[in-house]
Chains A and B, each alone.
Chain A
Amino acid sequence: MPQTPSSRKIRANLARYTETFFEVLIKTCGWSAIVCVLTIFVFILFHATPALKEISLWKFFTSTAWSPHHEQYGAFALIVGNLLVALVAMVIAVPLGLGAAVYISEFATGKTREWLKIGIELLAAIPSIVWGFIGLTVLSPIMVHQAGAEMGTNLLNGGIILALMSVPLIVSISEDALRAVPDSFREAGLALGANKWEMVSRVLFPAARNGLLAACMLGVGRAVGETMAVLLATGNTNQIPHSLLDPIKTLTATIASEMGEASRGSMHFSVLFLIGVLLLLITCTINVVADLIIKGTKAKANA
């Protein structure tokens, strides 16, 4: 087609319109994450307001009586159960995760490192429902027969499953933190006559302390917010456990198991959203603080 002045002008205009169109589109999408976070907060809080107005928060946080049929909403045992199962998971996952991260980052070489990293990535990919299934069908009989528990699904079962679920996250973040320590630190340590382990424990750990802390925090965040695995593996009994082999119930599992029977607009429905607010606050705080720690470490490493 011959290029007349007017057709060239049209094309130039078209290009300018396309440019503006995509710029506006991209900017709008860029803000989508903020919009999502805000609407999540607004919607959950909106549905939790009736509960915030009607029930006493003091009872919610201190009473262990949870019985929606009698309008009793004491979530203390649920909160304790949630925190305890995360604690058990961390007692197992933190040493394992840090040890594995040190091995992958400092000792392993070449192909071994590659395969270990792929293995840990696949471990992270296994869906939570499969973990719950494993807890329910594989670990539970072991709990009964080997450990002598009355119920196979209990605090320890859930803790082990959660530990295996959160360990890949701890490993990958810790490994990043160890990698971020400049090589000159390692060389200085070795030049002073330290052997490899002394270098790791006296030079790398202090230098990467913040990153390792953030890794553990993110692990806790993951363990606190996990739903399906604990729903299937912890036994769902609203009580304060006296031993590792007692069944418990968590906040997340309560929402998942009771939302189906709570009628829309009822107090029960609203209280479940209140639990959602609580979970949202806990996990958001943990994640943002951990992220700030990681960012701070990176800024220091670059300086």
Chain B
Amino acid sequence: MLEEAKNPFGPTLYEARKERIAKGAQIVTMLMAVALIIPMMWIIGLIFVQGWPAMSIDYLWQNPVGGGVAGGIWGPLIGTFFLTLMCLLIVAPIGVLAGIYLNEYAPDNKATRIIMIAVTSLAGVPSIVHALFGLAAFVVAMHMGKSLIAAACTLAIMTLPVIITSTREALGAVPRNFREACWNLGASKWQTIRTIVLPNSISGILTGVILVVSRAAGETAPIMLTGAAAYLPLPNTMPDKLMPYYLGDQFLALAMHLNVIARDVPNMPTEMKFGSALVMLLLILLINSAAIALRIRLRRRKRW
């Protein structure tokens, strides 16, 4: 009341209260946003501090011994590498071509809308259901057994919607004029796609591929039922060390290794657990940072 009397042009009490509420809301929402980042920082820091003592060339280069209580994580690392590579070889061509179909060829009709719904539902299928499907289709029905190739196929189906969606978005960002100019020069549809559309959207497609790598390297549930072993004694001799698994063999993978040593093994040194978690976390963050960097570069270099 007094303040109002002092300055007749200042805010009334009601207005001042509204202003305070608005300021408060801004601060509260900011704290909420920060509250999401802080646990992440804290967790990464904690895993880093606890896992760092385990880091050494030997830890990365030696195969696990005695169920993972000693030795290193070379076997799981190389297993994750081969698994991701195989998954990518299967899913990248199919996914990119499907993205091309949806953006360039598909007519705007009911069938296309159904395909889009299928892509959405496939993206929403829980990973454990993908695991069941991989077990039923690849391991049992197609007689692959629990193997590297069965796990890679399962992961490929799981990551298919990721690559379709990102390819479609990347192609959709290429302006229509580019295509029309090319058609007017007499190029066919496929020639236009090959020489104009794909080169102009390659960074966007690559971002999708990188995201698939990150997803495939991090998933545990699907490979757990389709081929990843809890522990295998692997030879530490040279030629076998670089190629320890054939396509039909069971294999070790980093995600599965972390799952096993996190709970099942008695007498497990703490730093061994946190070491595996640290390597896994760094791997995923590195891959995703690459995707983010690529996207930022792409936005800067855009020519239209």
- B156 (CB) vs chain A CBs: closest residue: A36
For chain B, residues 193 to 236, give those with C-beta under 8 angstroms from any C-beta of chain A: 214, 217-221, 224-225
A133 to B120, CA, bound (A): 29
Q: A120-B36, A197-B26 are in contact. Are A133 and B273 (CB under 8 A)?
A: yes
B42–chain A nearest beta-carbon distance, Å: 9
A49–chain B nearest beta-carbon distance, Å: 12
For chain A, residues 79 to 133, give those with C-beta under 8 angstroms from any C-beta of chain B: 95-96, 99-100, 102-104, 107-108, 116, 118-123, 125-130, 132-133
- Cβ-based interface call for A259 (8 A): yes
A104 to B37, CA, bound (A): 13
Contact yes or no, B132 A276, CB < 8 A: yes
- Partner pick for A134 among B43, B122, B141, CB 8 A cutoff: B43
B133–chain A nearest beta-carbon distance, Å: 5
The stretch that binds B, out of A53-61, A64-72, A222-230, A241-249, is: A222-230
Q: A23-B189, A33-B118, A276-B128 are in contact. Are A264 and B288 (CB under 8 A)?
A: no
Contact yes or no, A284 B125, CB < 8 A: yes
The stretch that binds B, out of A3-11, A144-152, A180-188, A286-294, is: A286-294
Q: A167-B36, A228-B221, A259-B135 are in contact. Are A284 and B124 (CB under 8 A)?
A: yes
B125–chain A nearest beta-carbon distance, Å: 6
B288–chain A nearest beta-carbon distance, Å: 4
- Cβ-based interface call for A2 (8 A): no
A284 to B289, CA, bound (A): 31
Which residues on the A side are within 8 Å of B21 (C-beta)? 197
A287 to B128, CA, bound (A): 16
Contact yes or no, B128 A26, CB < 8 A: no
A149–chain B nearest beta-carbon distance, Å: 18
Contact yes or no, B136 A47, CB < 8 A: yes
Contact yes or no, B40 A22, CB < 8 A: no
Size band of the interface chain B makes with A: 35 or more
Contact yes or no, A137 B120, CB < 8 A: no
A206–chain B nearest beta-carbon distance, Å: 16
- A20 (CB) vs chain B CBs: closest residue: B190
- Cβ-based interface call for B46 (8 A): yes
Complex interface bits, A185-215 against B, C-beta within 8 A gives 1, otherwise 0: 0000000000111101100000000000000
Which residues on the A side are within 8 Å of B289 (C-beta)? 122
Complex interface bits, B58-99 against A, C-beta within 8 A gives 1, otherwise 0: 000000000000000000000000000000000001110110
For chain B, residues 25 to 61, give those with C-beta under 8 angstroms from any C-beta of chain A: 25-26, 28-30, 32-33, 35-37, 39-40, 43, 46-47
A27 to B99, CA, bound (A): 10
Complex interface bits, A10-34 against B, C-beta within 8 A gives 1, otherwise 0: 0000010011001101110111111
Contact yes or no, B115 A33, CB < 8 A: yes
- Partner pick for B32 among A95, A133, A136, CB 8 A cutoff: A95
A101–chain B nearest beta-carbon distance, Å: 9
Residue contacts A-B, CB under 8 angstroms, 22 given: A19-B189, A19-B191, A26-B98, A30-B105, A30-B106, A32-B160, A34-B115, A43-B136, A127-B220, A127-B255, A128-B220, A130-B218, A136-B263, A164-B36, A168-B36, A198-B18, A228-B127, A232-B259, A259-B132, A280-B126, A280-B129, A288-B120
Known: A252-B221, A283-B125. 14 other contacts (CB 8 A): A19-B188, A19-B191, A27-B101, A33-B160, A37-B122, A107-B29, A108-B30, A125-B287, A164-B36, A225-B124, A225-B127, A255-B131, A256-B221, A287-B124
